[in-house]
Amino acid sequence: MKFDKLIELINENPHGRGSTSRFRLAGGTIWYKDDDKLFHPVLSHFHTFIVNWRWNLLSNSTPVNMSSRSYNMLSDMAGQAKRAWLQKLGQHGGIDTRQVSLDENSTCKHPAVSITMSFPNRKLMGVKKPTALAAKMLAKGKHPENGTDRIDWSTHNRKERGWGGSLRGISPQEAEQLRKNGGDRYLGCFIEPFENAVSSLAYGAVRKENTLRDMTNPLSQMKMALDTLSDDLMASAGELVGGENGPFAPLTIEDAGDPSPPHNRKFLKLLGEFEALSGRCGAAGSVMKNLLAAPDSACTKSVSISTDSDWNTYYPETIGHLSNLEFDYTRWADTKEGVRANNARSCELLVIHGIPFYDEDEEVKPPVEFTFVEHNNRGFSYYWVRKHKQFYEGILSQIGCSLPDPFGIPPCEWDYLKLAAPFFMEEGDNA
């Protein structure tokens, strides 16, 4: 969706409660204005990534008091904007999406990252002046006007409508306890999860590459067997074509009408074997093609590779620390590279959950999780993450999170065999 179309959608029907007068596009952010004339961020574009402020929680889980009509309009508007922004990021990289039109024929070769932030007490996040600076400060965790921060936004207010929804906050007393113990709870929230993701992707890459290697030899044997069978089949066909009574004609009148006359039996047998072996070769090629075309770290859970039967593969719901995966490799070989705007399912996307720091001795745990999603379908890849680690670091720095080199090793020195080794040792222990 181009910005002019988005503005049209925002500005149409400017009268009455629940109309688009509630929405405003300012500073690269879609804002929603509540009854107190405070503006709440819905979706923000920050040049190289977008922030999803969980607009789907505005209606029924937070005290913003949005009508169902406004919520439906907002969902449609924000959903279209999110898809368009991510597509442009994936195709053109970090650019001003207001100036670049979407090219449907180009492939997505750049990261297309969204950060999801969910806070129970969204009322405290409302601003009087919706500007680019206000959005940037909120993304950093500091309110530009009332001095509150992420710990304040994580509290609940039982008196407000909507409390008790899917995001249950901490009490003001618990918030004070977190402040008393000090430290930035969000600065390092992606460090360990990112390390876990890198090692998991390394494991997936090794598993996939090993499986492809294991497929090569049986496929070669099947190919050679098919060659030999093809030669025998053609030799038998040549004998029938050159028969004394004419090509494929019965040898005697008595053979006429026999569904399997003696002179055809060898050829029929070879045809049956050729059909079966060709089918197994085709199925094996399809299995290998789909796996080869899948993202670099998308691996099989188990695989049955045989020269005498059809190949079967099973796909994991967990790869290392990454879980809830729902791969469908059969579509990869025929699907153009692209991005997925919906992250309701992890599927083949790289999804990393950042967890605010808390000490094990503390009774209070910050309730907010940030979610980092690489929407480029090719981003589920050890090699992709190694290539774009510094880019991801720059994105996270803009939301007040650090991302030092995982394991203290720069990406150029990562060894995916060493990173994956603990998972293979765990496999051995469970065997």
* CA atoms of 380 and 374, how far apart (whole Å): 8
| Sign (positive or negative) of CA dihedral 100, 106, 110, 115 | positive
For residue 9, the model assigns a pLDDT of 52
pLDDT greater than 50 at residue 83: yes
Mean pLDDT across the chain:
82
Predicted confidence band of residue 369 (pLDDT cuts 50, 70, 90): confident
| DSSP conformation letters of 158-198 | TTSTTTTSS---B-HHHHHHHHHH-S-SSTTTTHHHHHHHH
For residue 96, the model assigns a pLDDT of 62
Predicted confidence band of residue 17 (pLDDT cuts 50, 70, 90): very low
pTM of structure:
0.87
Across 21-35, 260-274, 327-341, 342-356, least confident range: 327-341
Across 69-78, 233-242, 365-374, 375-384, least confident range: 69-78
For residue 315, the model assigns a pLDDT of 83
For residue 290, the model assigns a pLDDT of 87
Kindly calculate the radius of gyration of the chain based on its CA atoms and give it in whole angstroms: 30
Over the stretch 107-163, which tens digit does the pLDDT of each residue have? Answer: 788 999 999 988 888 888 999 999 999 999 999 999 999 999 999 998 875 544 443
Over the stretch 161-212, which tens digit does the pLDDT of each residue have? Answer: 443 444 568 888 888 888 887 778 899 999 999 999 999 999 999 999 999 9
Torsion angles phi and psi, residue 39, rounded to 5: -100, 130
For residue 105, the model assigns a pLDDT of 66
For residue 316, the model assigns a pLDDT of 87
Is the distance from CB of 26 to CB of 131 less than 8 angstroms?
yes
Higher pLDDT, residue 303 or 204: 204
Within 182-264, residue ranges assigned H as helices are 191-241
For residue 363, the model assigns a pLDDT of 77
* CA atoms of 54 and 60, how far apart (whole Å): 12
The proportion of the chain whose per-residue pLDDT surpasses 70, expressed as a percent, equals: 77
pLDDT greater than 80 at residue 228: yes
* CA atoms of 38 and 246, how far apart (whole Å): 93
* CA atoms of 298 and 349, how far apart (whole Å): 10
Q: Hey, where are the domains in the chain?
A: 3-182, 192-430
Across 12-16, 95-99, 169-173, 319-323, least confident range: 12-16
Across 56-65, 187-196, 313-322, least confident range: 56-65
* CA atoms of 266 and 173, how far apart (whole Å): 88
pLDDT greater than 80 at residue 380: yes
pLDDT greater than 70 at residue 430: no
For residue 62, the model assigns a pLDDT of 46
